[in-house]
Amino acid sequence: MRRVVATMWNQMGLQAVLVYRFGQLLRSSRRRILLWPLLPFGWLIYGLAVLWVRRAYGIRIALSAEIGAGFWVGHFGGVEVINCRLGERCSVGQQTKVGRTGDGAGPQVGDGAWIGAHSRITGPVRVGNGVTIAPGARVSRDVPDRALVVGDPGRVVFRGYDNSQILPRA
Amino acid sequence: MWSALIADARLYSRLRWPSGNSALRRVLIWFRSSGLLVLALQRVSYGYLQQRAQRGWTIGTILLRVLIGLTRRPMMILTKCDVDDSIQIGPGVYLSDRGFLILGPLRIGSGTLIHERVTIGVRAGDPGKPVIGEKVWIGPDCVIYGNLSVGDGATVLPGAVVSMSVPARAVAAGNPATIVRREFDNTGLRSSLARDIDPQSLAPR
């Protein structure tokens, strides 16, 4: 218990993810009439928490993103995850932008993707399972499963790259 | 540590007020610059780690531990910087006031300028830390990672992603970074806070 509290205090990314999950919970409880009196308070708390996470830590995980279980945000600052779909056990670093560009379909990322710091995934692209995106890479084209993407514009430099060693594990 | 902090204040006030640099301004800069506060806290933390390794727990180290523990999180949120305690930073280093620095190299040499939104750290799954030399100019939005060294007097242009060693006095640019010029003198770059560099002007001639 003490370790759980310490982790929640120390990990800014975890706080941001918890706020996002709380927002999703509020969103899904819209249909339960018995919960309606509680919802305004819930949204108020959510709004304040989102403001804190965005202004203090610079992490922005919008509710338009659809994120699977086990999402990891490394460090803090400049993280934007908006209008996209991320699979399970994904990991992003600081200054990462996923699915930032306006309206329309956002990027779809598979399970177990390791997205490095300062990288960008924009546009309606499909990124496969177990993909590794090197720090600073800009992805604007489809990426096959288990590929390693490097550079600007992003190129697949290696196929069949195993990122299980670098993904944060539970 | 104190001489290093005085050298830092001198560098910061010289960069902020290139025309005149008085003793008053060297005091004033402590209240005007968040990067200097980050640097000061890092130096105190580094000194604390040294003290504790040498002497263990004394009254002084316990007090320092409490001070660092209380100030770390507010400073991180106010300045948006996460600078590792164990970095050996030479005297007279500039860290950007605009923040978003995530720094974890082994060493940073004296006279180095680091601009905003820079990440320096290890390659995932490899414990080797980068070494930043003296009088290096690192532009905004750079990433430097892996077991490498950036040589003395090197220049890393804005937006570069460096994962291999940069020789001394070379210019690295691009993503992934390449050496675009050798034997470049970055004294002019390091004498002001101008960040809008034209990469063409530094290309090989």
Kindly report the CATH number assigned to the domain that includes residue B10: 2.160.10.10
pLDDT above 80: residue B59: yes
Lowest mean pLDDT among A101-105, A138-142, B58-62, B183-187: A101-105
The pLDDT of residue B66: 93
Q: Using alpha carbons only, how large is chain A's radius of gyration in Å?
A: 17
Span A124-132, mean pLDDT?
A: 92
User: How wide is the angle at C-alpha B7 spanned by C-alphas B2 and B9, nearest 5°?
Assistant: 95
The pLDDT of residue A138: 93
Q: Residue B111's domain spans which residues?
A: 2-193
The pLDDT of residue A105: 79
Joined together, the tokens standing for residue A145 give: 């499963």
> CATH for A2-159?
2.160.10.10
pLDDT band at A121, cuts 50/70/90?
very high
At position B7, the amino acid (one-letter code) is: A
Paired sense of beta strands A132-133 and A97-98, if any: unpaired
B204 is a domain residue: no
- Say if B143 is an interface residue toward chain A (CB within 8 Å): yes
Of B80, B82, B176, the CB nearest to A150: B176
The pLDDT of residue A6: 83
pLDDT above 90: residue A38: no
Span A87-111, mean pLDDT?
A: 87
The pLDDT of residue B96: 92
Class of residue B140 by CB neighbours under 10 A (exposed 0-12, middle 13-18, buried 19+) = middle
The sheet carrying A91-92 orders its strands as A72-73, A91-92, A114-115, A132-133, A147-150, A155-159
Span A72-79, mean pLDDT?
A: 89
Instruction: Give the mean pLDDT of chain B.
Output: 89
Which ranges in chain B belong to alpha helices (H)? 2-16, 23-32, 34-55, 59-79, 187-190
The pLDDT of residue B28: 86
Mapping DSSP onto H, E and C, the string for chain A reads CHHHHHHHHHCHHHHHHHHHHHHHHHHHHHHCHHHHHHHHHHHHHHHHHHHHHHHHHCEEECCCCEECCCCEECCCCCEEECCCEECCCCEECCCCEECCCCCCCCCEECCCCEECCCCEECCCCEECCCCEECCCCEECCCECCCEEEECCCCEEEEECCCCCCCCCCC
Span B43-48, mean pLDDT?
A: 93
pLDDT tens, position by position, A43-59: 999 999 999 999 999 99
The pLDDT of residue B129: 93
C-alpha A118/C-alpha A150 separation (Å) is 12
B200 is a domain residue: no
| A58:B100 CB<8 A | yes
The pLDDT of residue B153: 93
The pLDDT of residue B106: 93
Chain A contacts of B163, Cβ < 8 Å?
A: 134-135
| CB-based contact B117:B141 (threshold 8 Å) | yes
B189 is a domain residue: yes
Span A132-159, mean pLDDT?
A: 92
The pLDDT of residue B29: 87
CA nearest to B120, candidates A21, A14, A93, A12 = A93
pLDDT above 90: residue B189: no
The pLDDT of residue B17: 86
| B102:A152 CB<8 A | no
pLDDT tens, position by position, B96-152: 998 899 999 999 999 999 999 999 999 988 889 999 999 999 999 999 999 999 999
pLDDT above 70: residue A22: yes
B151 is a domain residue: yes
B117 is a domain residue: yes
The domain ranges of chain A are 2-159
C-alpha B51/C-alpha B60 separation (Å) is 9
The pLDDT of residue B203: 61
What global pTM score does this model have? Answer: 0.89
Of A78, A114, A152, the CB nearest to B175: A152
Span A130-152, mean pLDDT?
A: 92
| CA distances for B38 relative to B50, B100, B191, angstroms | 18, 11, 21
B52 is a domain residue: yes
- Say if A161 is an interface residue toward chain B (CB within 8 Å): no
Determine how many CB atoms are found less than 10 A away from the CB of residue A158. 13
The pLDDT of residue A37: 84
pLDDT tens, position by position, B151-176: 999 999 999 999 999 999 999 999 88
Size of interface A-B (CB pairs under 8 A): 59
A residues 108-137 closer than 8 Å to B (CB): 114, 116-118, 134-137
Give the residue from chain B lying closest to A115, CA to CA. B124
Paired sense of beta strands A147-150 and A155-159, if any: antiparallel
Lowest mean pLDDT among A61-65, A112-116, B2-6, B200-204: B200-204
B109 is a domain residue: yes
The pLDDT of residue B199: 64
Backbone angles phi, psi at B14, to 5 degrees: -70, -35
Nearest-CA distance A57 → chain B (Å): 6
pLDDT band at A34, cuts 50/70/90?
confident
C-alpha B32/C-alpha B16 separation (Å) is 10
Span A17-24, mean pLDDT?
A: 94
B104 is a domain residue: yes
User: How wide is the angle at C-alpha B125 spanned by C-alphas B119 and B129, nearest 5°?
Assistant: 50
pLDDT band at B205, cuts 50/70/90?
low
Paired sense of beta strands B101-103 and B81-83, if any: parallel
The pLDDT of residue A134: 93
Of A94, A114, A165, the CB nearest to B119: A94
Determine the length of chain A. 170
At position B49, the amino acid (one-letter code) is: L
Of B77, B99, B143, the CB nearest to A135: B143
| CB-based contact A131:A86 (threshold 8 Å) | no
Nearest-CA distance B72 → chain A (Å): 11
Joined together, the tokens standing for residue A142 give: 């489809």
The total number of structural domains in chain B stands at 1
